């Protein structure tokens, strides 16, 4: 197994809120990537006092890339003067953090649904280890795996990318949640 050519999901940091520029480069190269986005009301440009609903990154400077380390290094070199791209490292192994494919699919399924009510959580502020692992068995989040916690008084399923971020679904009815048995 060659770690430099194996394809995995890597969370990357991009300086100065230029994650959308890196996304354009990756899309041009046909490299799978994901930026968690949400709608935000922003003031219209010019002297207009009206507000406009705009899709913006939830966490600036963060992008997830599915590729090999070798390919990411090539991209980093190609955008070097304009963008500074850094890996997020696993504190224990001191290697670039790798997000498992199943975890990333669940994370994208929840956070990629812009019209649903999702809540983004700081993994340091929430002990996400408590609770049972579950799978959602119906609705817009069908197949998503995570853990059940209470957020703002509602039962939600949380998908956590350890040390990076977590996202909680909208309220999930108990009939749509099935406990995952080990």
Residue with tokens 């502020």: 125
Rg (CA), the chain: 18
Nearest to 29 by CA among 96, 82, 74, 84: 74
| Closest by CA position to 99, among listed 2, 11, 167, 6 | 11
**Residue, of 78 and 124, whose pLDDT is higher:** 78
What is the rounded distance in angstroms from the CA atom of residue 136 to the CA atom of residue 15? 36
- Please report the pLDDT score of residue 76 as a whole number: 94
pLDDT exceeds 60 at position 124: no
Domains identified in the chain and CATH numbers: 8-87 (3.30.70), 101-179 (no CATH)
Rounded to the nearest angstrom, the gap between the alpha carbon of residue 51 and the centroid of all alpha carbons in its chain is 27
Residue 47 has pLDDT above 60, yes or no: yes
Q: Among 19-23, 37-41, 123-127, 135-139, which stretch is predicted with the lowest mean pLDDT?
A: 123-127
Residue 1 has pLDDT above 50, yes or no: yes
Q: For residues 175 and 136, give the distance between their C-alpha atoms in angstroms, rounded to a whole number.
A: 9
Q: What is the pLDDT of residues 68-121, one digit of tens each?
A: 999 999 999 999 888 999 999 988 899 999 999 999 999 999 888 776 677 776
pTM for this entry: 0.75
| Nearby residues of 37 by Cβ (< 8 Å), 6 or more positions away | 55, 56, 57, 58, 111, 114
Report how far apart, in Å, the C-alpha atoms of 144 and of each of 81, 104, 108, 109, 148 are.
39, 10, 9, 7, 12
Provide φ and ψ at 146, rounded to 5°. Answer: -170, -155
Assess whether pLDDT exceeds 80 at residue 3: no
């Amino acid at each position: 197994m060659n770690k430099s050519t194996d394809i995995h999901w890597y969370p990357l940091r991009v300086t100065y809120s230029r994650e959308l520029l890196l996304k354009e480069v990756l899309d041009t190269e046909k490299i799978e990537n994901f930026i968690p986005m949400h709608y935000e009301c922003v003031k219209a440009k010019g002297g207009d006092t009206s507000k406009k609903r705009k899709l913006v990154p939830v966490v600036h400077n963060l992008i997830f890339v599915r590729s090999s380390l070798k390919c990411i290094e090539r991209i980093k070199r190609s955008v070097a003067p304009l963008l500074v791209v850094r890996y997020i490292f696993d504190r224990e192994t001191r290697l670039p953090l790798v997000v498992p494919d199943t975890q990333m699919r669940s994370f994208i399924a929840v956070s990629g649904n812009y019209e649903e009510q999702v809540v983004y959580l700081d993994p340091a502020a929430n002990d996400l280890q408590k609770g049972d692992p579950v799978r959602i068995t119906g609705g817009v989040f069908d197949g998503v795996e995570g853990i059940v916690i209470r957020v703002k008084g509602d039962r939600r399923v949380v998908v956590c990318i350890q040390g990076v971020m977590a996202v909680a679904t909208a309220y999930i009815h108990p009939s749509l949640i099935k406990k995952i048995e080990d």
